[in-house]
Chains A and B, each alone.
Chain A
Amino acid sequence: GESVGLHLPTLSVQEGDNSIINCAYSNSASDYFIWYKQESGKGPQFIIDIRSNMDKRQGQRVTVLLNKTVKHLSLQIAATQPGDSAVYFCAEKVDGNKLVFGAGTILRVKS
């Protein structure tokens, strides 16, 4: 379905800990998924993507896991830093180039 932004869940982590942000997607036919980070006053910034023929993809300090059976995505951030504080969105590509976004998760990093 379409993104519905209501009350965003918040994840609070201590600096240096690992963070895991979860996302459920809606369309079982989606073949491409992206995680974005949005800081206050800025547009979404690409973090990492994954195609449906993969279960896991790693970047620098980030890992995305895809479970197609239950239509679930997760973003793992290792050694979370204060600069990681932002709203994180998952997005699935449907119907051509259209992205459908999740509601977002607020990540707060405590120093």
Chain B
Amino acid sequence: KAGVTQTPRYLIKTRGQQVTLSCSPISGHRSVSWYQQTPGQGLQFLFEYFSETQRNKGNFPGRFSGRQFSNSRSEMNVSTLELGDSALYLCASSTGGGETQYFGPGTRLLVL
């Protein structure tokens, strides 16, 4: 089975711009979760989507949003980028029934 894929792998944006990141889960997985990883804060949960519905949300401002499509692929969007949004954005997929989450390679976002 192919693993979780994320595109693009690297992005450079400037403050005030917006960005969309994409995640394709493992085939058959219906849950996609997004995490932000920074040196200062570690790995932090952004949100989870299951069957096209946001099922859980972390403590991030409304500039961070996401969606999931009928094929379980997910996108996350960050609007009005700030320097502090520079991070590795990871998505993880699972069946959605509480089993293990498997991570993709991440998208490295740099905001200048």
* A97-B42 contact given A42-B105, A43-B104, A43-B106, CB 8 Å threshold: no
Q: When chains A and B are docked, how far (Å) is the Cα of A51 from the Cα of B38?
A: 28
**Contact between A44 and B103 (Cβ–Cβ < 8 Å)?**
yes
* A98-B42 contact given A43-B104, A44-B103, A49-B100, CB 8 Å threshold: no
Residue total for B at the interface (Cβ-Cβ under 8 A):
30
Mark interface residues in B42-63 (1 if CB within 8 Å of A CB, else 0): 1111001010000110110000
**Contact between B41 and A97 (Cβ–Cβ < 8 Å)?**
no
Asked if B102 CB lies within 8 Å of chain A CBs, one says yes
**Contact between B39 and A5 (Cβ–Cβ < 8 Å)?**
yes
* A98-B48 contact given A4-B42, A5-B41, A43-B103, CB 8 Å threshold: yes
Mark interface residues in B93-112 (1 if CB within 8 Å of A CB, else 0): 01010101111111000000
Residues of A within 8 A of B42 (CB): 3-5, 101-104
**Contact between B43 and A96 (Cβ–Cβ < 8 Å)?**
no
- From B31, B43, B59, B103, A45 is in contact (CB under 8 Å) with B103
Residues of A within 8 A of B84 (CB): none
* A97-B101 contact given A5-B38, A43-B90, CB 8 Å threshold: yes
**Contact between B101 and A3 (Cβ–Cβ < 8 Å)?**
no
**Contact between A96 and B55 (Cβ–Cβ < 8 Å)?**
yes
Q: When chains A and B are docked, how far (Å) is the Cα of A5 from the Cα of B88?
A: 14
Mark interface residues in B13-34 (1 if CB within 8 Å of A CB, else 0): 0000000000000000001010
Q: When chains A and B are docked, how far (Å) is the Cα of A89 from the Cα of B43?
A: 9
B interface, CB within 8 angstroms of A: 4, 31, 33, 35, 38-45, 48, 50, 55-56, 58-59, 90, 92, 94, 96, 98, 100-106
Q: What are 17 A-B residue pairs whose CB atoms fall within 8 Å in the complex?
A: A2-B41, A3-B42, A3-B44, A32-B98, A34-B101, A42-B105, A42-B106, A43-B103, A44-B43, A44-B90, A97-B98, A98-B56, A99-B43, A99-B92, A99-B101, A101-B43, A103-B42
